[in-house]
Structures are given as C-alpha cells and as structure tokens.
Structure 1
Amino acid sequence: MDVKTPLLPRTERPIPMRRRHRFRRFHAAAFVFVLGLFWLGVNWQCTDPTHHHNHEATAKVPMEVHIMSKCPDARDCLQKLVLPAMQNVSDKVDFRLSFIGKATEEDDGVQCKHGQTECLGNILELCAAELYPNPKLYLGFTMCMERDYPNIPKKELVQDCALEHGLDFDQLNYCVSQDDGAFAMGMLRDSVTRSADLNVTTSCTVRLDSKVRCIVDDGEFVKCPGGSRPEDLVRDIKKLFDVAKGWSE
C-alpha cells in the first residue's frame, strides 16, 4: 500500500454490530487493515438496533464523554443530552471527547468493537478535536458524523461534515496519514488507554467532575443521578461552576 495515498476509504460495508462479537486490530504501519478476528474478554457495551484537552480556566467544570464512533448510543447521547447542554453552558465546561477500545501491546495497535472502520472514525473525530479545539466546531463535526454512523468513515460523509462545520478536509486527511499514521494512532491509543484506566467500557458514558453522570446503553439513559434531560445536566454544571469559581477567587 502506498503510504502517500489518501487513507479515507471510499466505500466500506458497515460492520455488523452485536453486544459481543469479533474485533479487528488497527495499527499504524501504513494503516494496513488486519483481517484477523479476535474475541475480547471485556464486556464493551454498545447495542445496534481526545488527545487534545482544553486546559484554560481552572474554574471550568470537567466534562468527558466516552464513545465509539459507530455506536448508535453515542449518537443518541450526543444528540439528546450532550449537545443541547453544551449549547447553553459551553463557556463553563472543560470538555473532552474520549474513545473506547483496546490497545494491543504486541503491535502497538488498537482493537475497536465495530472493526477497523470504527477505529478510523474515532481517529477522524480525534483529529477534528486536535485541529479545532473549540468544542463548538469539533462537536458539531462529530455529531454530523454520528447521525450517519453506519457510513463512517466514507469519504463523502467526512467531506460533507467538514464542509458543514467549517473544517478543512485536507487537514483532517493529513492528520490521519501524518508520519505514516503513527501520529493519529498515538492519539487513538492514548484515548482508549485513558478510557480503560477510568474503567469506562460503555458507549456512551458521560463523566462530570470526574464522576459518572449518565450512561446511554441499548437506547436507554441509565445511571443518571439528577436526571437525564439536558436541563438537568445544565443545572449540575452551573452548580459545580459556581463552586469552582468561588474556590478560584
């Protein structure tokens, strides 16, 4: 495979999604797709019908969302909870988007539940956050991708979402292929390792102020103390922000 060739596949047949199924490795050696299939012992949950971190004001409330890019629960979580809340309190939130997968030590690769296309989708969304650290930009791009998650990472979808949200497609593509894929793979490994270290295995998991705030699993909002509506999340963020602001003054 010529490493200079753009790495966004034109067509990919979506990987069937099941609660437990086989996994594929994705590694940085020219982003060659490994065809071997593997079973994982961890119960990664996602039912089918960021390397970059904002370190600005210390008073902002940490919020982290852990997803898999080809997961319908990630779409529902972002669309029904995270995005509406962020539209109201983005100035009060130190936001981070992280991904769920498994780093493989034997080849410095990553296993993604829904196959190599999900690994590439995760990388594209991480690259968007790296290049455009304003959550309003990269979250908009991510939500656009998630709405059509079965087609991630088709080139046409990525181009359309980049255009819609003012992202440069060529820069995204360069981020994916930089250093023969090693740069992007490093971001993905760091992201999935972080999720694993935090014991997060369900897409989508929302963590607020270092605590699990809500989980979307099999289309249901569960483990959401204080409510699962955007206004509930906004209320909690404002309370935490006021407390943090008081401490920093």
Structure 2
Amino acid sequence: MEKAPLLPQTDDDAMSRRPTPKRFSRFHAAAFAIIFGLFWLARTWDCEHYDEGAETSAKVPLEVHIMSKCPDARDCLQYLVIPTMANVSDKIDFRLSFIGKTTEEDDGVQCKHGQTECLGNILELCAASEYPDPKIYLGFTMCLERDYKMIPKKALIEDCALEHGIDFDKLNDCLSKDDGAYGMGMLRDSVTRSAELNVNTSCTIRLDNKTRCTINDGEWVDCPDGHKPDDLIRDINRLYDEAKGWTD
C-alpha cells in the first residue's frame, strides 16, 4: 500500500493577475541608463580590484537557535531578528538551527514541547532547504511562530506557505521523503550542531560565531551590547566593515 504523505494534499492556489506594465518611453530608458551609470561609477570608484568573492566572504555569520513551539522563539524573531534582517540582510550569512535532544532509538530526536514541535522544526528546516533565501524561509518561520500553539495544523501551514510564496506540496514532499527519514536527518543534524555549540536555550542568537544575546522566559539575558535591533545592526555593520578592511 502506498504510504500517505504527512501533510494532506491541496488544490493549486489560483495565480493572481499581475498589473499591465506602463509604457517605458525613450526618456525613461535614457534616465535609467544615466542613473545606472552613476551607480556603477560610485560602486567602482577607487575599487579597481573589486572582488565578488570577497564581498561574499565579508558577510557576518548570524545564527539563531530556537524551538518551534516556544514563545521566546516568537519574540526573538519578531522583535530582534526580523527587524535586523530587514536592514542588513545583504551583510549577513544567516542560519536557523534547532534545539532538542538526540536519541539512540531509531536515530531520532526528542523535542521539549513534544513530537508536534519536532514536526514544526522539520517544517521550518524543509522551508529553508527548498527556499534557501532567508527572506522567504525566515518569513514563513515567523508566520508559523506567531501562532506557535497551532503548529503543525494544516490550515496554519497552508496560510503561511501562501503568504510567503512557498509551494505547500514541496513542503509535503520534503516531510515525506524517504518515509520521513530525510527531514528527521536534517533535524538531528541541526540539534547536534546546537548541542556541540553548548546552546540549549530558545532563543539564542550567535553573532560572528559567538553568543550575542539570549531570551529566556520572556527576559533578555547575556546581552551586554544591547538587545534592540539598532544594537545588533550596529555590531553587524562594524564586523562587516572590519572584514572588508573599511575601518579607520
């Protein structure tokens, strides 16, 4: 008998109509060429040896460790991580990791808030795997976290997938792949990483491979440089400039 997918199938969502583009005149084309030329000139001024690889390597590692059914994860993402990413995402190498406990039985994972949390963690890992752009999978994750008590209800997943341009069927396929072993493997690897880094509190933020801030039971702790978005943005800008050699 064919194994049923972990999430029910749904009909394809109707595609929204895009507005008809306005006519692009010669004047607009000329203006665009001038503006683009000025932008490129500004970018390359005194940068004869500009290296696209160096731009990538200068990005600052920002890693967030959470449990999907934890209110601190919701608050951490909503009040610090998302506002920060909205301002300096181009300077960040972002990673989302999960907290749990590995077990020897069937190479599984135990989650603090039960198996529904494990499934929520896997859902968010699947979103990151299928849609690697943090603007997509982090938005989807935040959408789930707002109603974390409902994870992994089908209606919530469908609504959040639709809101952030994620194909529900792709998530379903990821969850069902290899009879669930694929998703569980991703979760086990993620939980193992958090444990090896001695991270066991949701939510923990690590910046440049060091613990930057933690929220626990609604309280910000171990945040000597501040826990507001402006504080984190300041630190990211400083580290990015140092990596590129732009310090005074």
Deviations 1:185-219 (A, max 9, x none): 11000000000000000000000001111101010
Instruction: Please say if 1:86 is aligned against 2:85.
Output: yes
**Matched letter for residue 70 of structure 1:** K
- For residue 107 of structure 1, give the secondary structure of its aligned residue in structure 2: helix
Please tell me the residue identity of whatever aligns with 2:157. V
Secondary structure (helix, strand or coil) at the match of 2:155 reads: helix
Alignment of 1:36-51 (within 5 A): none
> How far did 1:181 drift?
0.7
**2:215 and 2:7 mapped to 1: Cα distance?**
29
Q: Does the alignment pair 1:68 with 2:59?
A: no
Q: Provide the C-alpha distance between the structure 2 equivalents of 1:246 and 1:135, rounded to a whole number of angstroms.
A: 26
Query: Is residue 8–residue 154 contact of structure 1 (8 Å, CA) maintained in 2?
Result: no
Q: Percent identity?
A: 76
Residue 105 of structure 1 and its aligned partner are, at CA, apart by: 1.7
Corresponding residue number in structure 1 for 2:169: 170
TM-score (norm 1): 0.78
Match of 2:6 in 1: 7
The letter of the residue matching 1:154 is K
Q: Which runs of 5+ in 2 are unaligned?
A: 9-54
Report the equivalent of 1:110.
109
* Mean CA deviation greater in 105-114 or 150-159: 105-114
Q: Which has the higher helix share?
A: 2
Structure 2 counterpart of 1:57: 56
Give the structure 1 partner of residue 134 of structure 2: 135
Q: Give the aligned partner of residue 209 of structure 2.
A: 210
More strand by share: 1
TM alignment of 1:150-165, pairs within 5 A:
150-165=149-164
Structure 1 pair 233–3 and aligned structure 2 pair: CA distance change class (3 A): farther
Deviation at 1:4, TM superposition (A): 2.5
Q: Is the Cα contact below 8 Å between 1:64 and 1:97 reproduced in 2?
A: yes
> Secondary structure of 1:246's match?
coil
Judge conservation of contact 1:3–1:180 (CA < 8 Å) in 2.
no
Q: What's the counterpart of residue 232 of structure 2?
A: 233
CA distance in 1, matches of 2:204, 2:135: 20
Equivalents in 2 of 1:238, 1:162: separation in Å? 32
CA distances 1:127-157 after superposition (whole Å, capped 9, x unpaired) = 0000111100000000000000000000110
The one-character-per-residue Cα deviations of 1:43-70 (angstroms, maximum 9, x if unpaired) are: xxxxxxxxxxxxx911100000000000
- Residue 52 of structure 2 corresponds to which residue in structure 1? none
DSSP-derived class of the 2:85 partner:
helix
Larger Cα Rg: Structure 1 or Structure 2?
2
> 8 Å contact 1:204–1:216 — kept in the other structure?
yes
Q: Tell me the equivalent position of 1:186.
A: 185
**Distance across 2 between alignment mates of 1:144 and 1:218:** 21
Deviations for 1:69-128, whole angstroms, at most 9, x for unmatched residues? Answer: 000000000000000000000000000000000111232000000000000000000000
